[in-house]
Structure 1
Amino acid sequence: NLLFLEECLANRVSVNGLDKSGSTALHWAASGGHIECVERLLSIPNVEINVQNKLDDTQLHNSAWKGHHVIVEMLLDKGANKMIRNNENQYPYDLGSKHPEVGTLLKTVSG
């Protein structure tokens, strides 16, 4: 995945480009637990970290839902907004609270 990402970046594919679901590369890397790809994407100055896709999920929602606590922490360290609700009126915490490490990182959210 990292090699493909680097090839896309070398060919000037927009880091913030959206697919049919309204998701960015960071959405997919965060959802898949691809720490190296998330790290690389977060190193790009203009990467957007609070993009809402067609379900209104942000990259933080995706990583929280899948229980990827390392990625949740990386996104929070870069300033991801944990107070964004998706179209089901859920915060990232609501999706990730079943994973103890994720819940701890996002526990300051109150609905």
Structure 2
Amino acid sequence: GQVKVYRALFTFDPRTVSFNLLFSNWWKGTCRGRTGLIPSNYVAEQAESIDNPMHEAAKRGNLSWLRECLDNKVGINGLDKAGNTSLYWASGLSLFCPIMAHKIKKILLGQPNCELNQQNKLGDTALHAAAWKGYSDIVEMLLNKNARTDVVNNEKKTALDMATNAQCASLLKRKLGGVILRTHSNAEEYLDDEDSD
């Protein structure tokens, strides 16, 4: 889960360019789906290493970088220092760019080996994060992919316990079949008024 990042020395949107060294004097560059050869003196020689490029692509909402990572077989379930997967980080993007976050999550969830229930060092899964942040669309996506609702974090809380709005809590309750495996949800006060299930 590590890549080297090179800097283009000419006018380009740096988030859309990728390089692969072909020969000592030429690079293969890809930008917005078009590929061509670039002389080596157009590329900065000092490379920067980035750990967990899939995580970075998810955090930044960089769809083309995410696809490039997948094309180059970067591990989708790799963990960062906090034990988070790229799917977990993609959940945090929704606040800033909901459309891009939705696209990234859809791509990640479409991968056959995407681990939905990986717990980070706090014991949270992507479902915990989505429920806590109140992203009902992501909660629904994860539930449709059969994310487990019974996973408890280090504080002994399920995703339902972490739910901060009635819509997330309702989706989680429906998946549980109405069986409540908790004593109190952050959304409980809303459920009394709004949830008639």
Give the TM-score, by structure 2 length.
Answer: 0.54
Whether 2:112 is the aligned partner of 1:41: answer no
Please point out which of 89, 99, 106 is paired with 2:165: 99
Of 31-40 and 16-25, deviating more is: 31-40
Residue 72 of structure 1 deviates from its aligned partner by 0.3
Residue 76 of structure 1 deviates from its aligned partner by 0.4
RMSD (CA atoms): 1.1
Please point out which of 110, 135, 146 is paired with 1:79: 146
Counterpart CA distance in 2 for 1:4 and 1:93 is 33
Give the TM-score, by structure 1 length.
Answer: 0.93
Counterpart CA distance in 2 for 1:4 and 1:100 is 35
Unaligned runs of at least 5 residues, structure 2: 1-60, 95-100, 183-197
The structure whose residues are more often helix, as a share, is: 1
Counterpart CA distance in 1 for 2:87 and 2:80 is 11
Matches within 5 A, 1:1-111: 1=61, 2-33=63-94, 34-96=101-163, 98-107=164-173, 108=176, 109-111=180-182
Residue 85 of structure 1 deviates from its aligned partner by 0.5
Residue 5 of structure 1 deviates from its aligned partner by 1.1
Q: How many residues align?
A: 110
The one-letter amino acid paired with 1:40 is: I
Preserved CA contact (<8 Å) 1:31 1:59: no
Counterpart CA distance in 2 for 1:7 and 1:38 is 15
- 1:13-51: CA deviation from partner (whole Å, max 9, x where unpaired): 100000011000000112332111110001100111000
SS for the counterpart of 1:61 is: helix
Counterpart CA distance in 2 for 1:32 and 1:48 is 19
Counterpart CA distance in 1 for 2:68 and 2:149 is 31
